[in-house]
Amino acid sequence: MQYNVTVIGSGPGGYVAAIRAAQLGFKTAIIEKYNTLGGTCLNVGCIPSKALLDSSEHFANAKDHFAEHGIDIPAPKVNFGQMIKRKGDVVKANVDGIAYLMKKNKIDVHTGTGSFVDKNTIKITTADGKESTITTEKVIIATGSKPTPLPFAPFDKKRIISSTEALELKEIPKHLIVIGGGVIGMELGSVYARIGSKVTVVEFLDSLIPTMDSTMGKELARVAKKMGIETYLGHKVTAVESKGEEVLVKAEPKNGGNAIELKGDYCLVSIGRRPYTDGLGLDKVGIQTEKGQIPVDNHLRTSVDNIYAIGDVVRGAMLAHKAEEEGVFVAEQLAGQKPHVNYNLIPGVVYTWPEVASVGQTEDQLKQQGRAYKVGSFPYKALGRARASMDTDGLVKILADKATDEILGVHIIGARAADMIAAGVTAMEFRASAEDVARMSHAHPTYMEAVKEACLAATENRAIHM
């Protein structure tokens, strides 16, 4: 078979690139080594984790909040098997949806591992060892990432587990020890804390979700405490041992102090993900990885002129929507268009409850840049809408340029922050000032009023409801 464009990997980067390429008239193929399409995100990432987050959140509401709303029900119980089954159904509906989209866009799907023979020839090897080759003018590598293990404690996938296993457990852990208080640790830690596990998070740095604005980490630590999640910040894990049904974790404060020993039945290692290029045969085309990533230029072109790379396998945030933007970007470039990705405005979201969502610069980044800025904050507890729903934890923090008032960062921890951050992206894409947003009418009562109020606070410290 001969193609204009071949995409290797069917995650959000790959399948979106393939659809856009097909829309633009290219004869397109996609190669995926697993039997289902959608990559990490749909199979073992974004979608299943959100399915379990939603189920566990319903349970927590029924258990802890219904009575106060005047809804009396018998004490709810978790049917964990059903929770996992529903998650599986949600994943299936989504991955089937991608198969439908491939068919609709007349994209040829090849199941098997894709590896370079040369820069225009790709070999596809199926799980049972059958080989075939296709030729192609352009290639888009979208092979994604895999969980990073601790160097001294590889995943045994039974007791020392990654997110993949944590989404598919057969029982609710009694004590889940989470190493890494980043996005996965806090999302999956929340799931299990809500449904009855004792959860302990050991984080190397001095803050949870340390890549986000430090106010978010502090507020999330407060919320985690309320949920009963125990956290050890600034702790370096020195040993993880699994013995039968037990896992022993040792850690010591990185700045000195007493070591700790934790005993649990599962240990989730969520210390980041690494780009995945195994079996791709990059050596056949002379592409060398750097720190595991495929180096690309500003056009996402690799060192070989007809080969591009996108998503988790290249530099930048490891996020589904970043991968998608890059997929569209490459396909449109191949069609001679001049697309653009604004990397400063890729939002980041943590789907805890309350959710955390950010876009633009953090306060620390502005300090490092030596940029003069203003801060406006507004707490959820001062919002009528938040009181009505009893979601009063959280705040909105707006960072704006001191001289021009242009919004430089929007950071939200609070109910529905994940959806609200889109307003921050829009405002910043149009280079709005804090006062521009402060002067727009926001429906009452909504959580978005906190954004308006924080913008008022940033403008001239003139929030109305504080």
> Which residues participate in the annotated binding site for FAD?
50, 114, 143-145, 312, 318-321
Q: Does 280 bind ligand FAD (CB under 6 A)?
A: yes
List Cα–Cα distances, 328 to 36, 232, 346, in angstroms.
Answer: 22, 41, 14
List Cα–Cα distances, 403 to 323, 372, 434, in angstroms.
Answer: 34, 8, 12
Taking CB under 6 A as the criterion, the residue among 12, 180, 347, 360 binding ligand NAI is 180
User: With respect to ligand FAD, which residue has the nearer C-beta, 34 or 80?
Assistant: 34
Residues 305-364 binding ligand FAD (CB under 6 A) are 311-312, 318-321, 323, 351
Instruction: For residue 465, indicate whether it is catalytic.
Output: no
Give 301's DSSP letter.
B
Residue numbering of the annotated binding site: 50, 114, 143-145, 180-187, 203, 272, 312, 318-321
Q: Does 205 bind ligand NAI (CB under 6 A)?
A: yes
How near is the Cβ of 267 to ligand NAI at its closest, in Å?
11
Catalytic residue among 65, 299, 444, 465: 444
Bridge partner list, 395: 379, 413
- Please give the sequence-ordered ranges of beta strands (E in DSSP) within 342-421, or none if there are none: 348-350, 355-360, 373-379, 395-401, 407-414
- Among 456, 428, 460, CA closest to 441: 456
Q: Which stretch binds ligand FAD (CB under 6 A): 40-48, 59-67, 330-338, 382-390?
A: 40-48
Ordered alpha helix ranges (H), 65-182: 80-104, 163-166
Q: Does 276 bind ligand FAD (CB under 6 A)?
A: yes
Taking CB under 6 A as the criterion, the residue among 185, 311, 360, 409 binding ligand NAI is 185
> Rounded CA gap, 188 and 190, in Å?
5
- Among 65, 62, 57, CA closest to 83: 57
Residue numbering of the annotated binding site for NAD(+): 180-187, 203, 272
Neighbouring C-beta atoms of residue 151, cutoff 10 Å: 6
Ordered alpha helix ranges (H), 195-256: 214-226
> Rounded CA gap, 179 and 230, in Å?
12
Q: What is the DSSP string of 354-370?
A: SEEEEEE--HHHHHHHT
Taking CB under 6 A as the criterion, the residue among 6, 18, 29, 33 binding ligand FAD is 33
Burial of 32 (0-12, 13-18, 19+ CB in 10 A): buried
Q: Does 233 bind ligand NAI (CB under 6 A)?
A: no
Residues 120-179 binding ligand NAI (CB under 6 A) are 179
The partner in contact with residue 350, picked from ligand NAI, ligand FAD, none with C-beta cut-offs of 5 to 8 angstroms by kind, is ligand NAI
**Which residues are marked as active site?**
444
Positions in the binding site for ligand NAI (CB under 6 A): 179-185, 187, 202-205, 210, 237, 270-273, 317-319, 349-351
Positions in the binding site for ligand FAD (CB under 6 A): 8-14, 31-34, 39-41, 45-46, 49, 113-115, 142-145, 163, 184, 276, 279-280, 311-312, 318-321, 323, 351
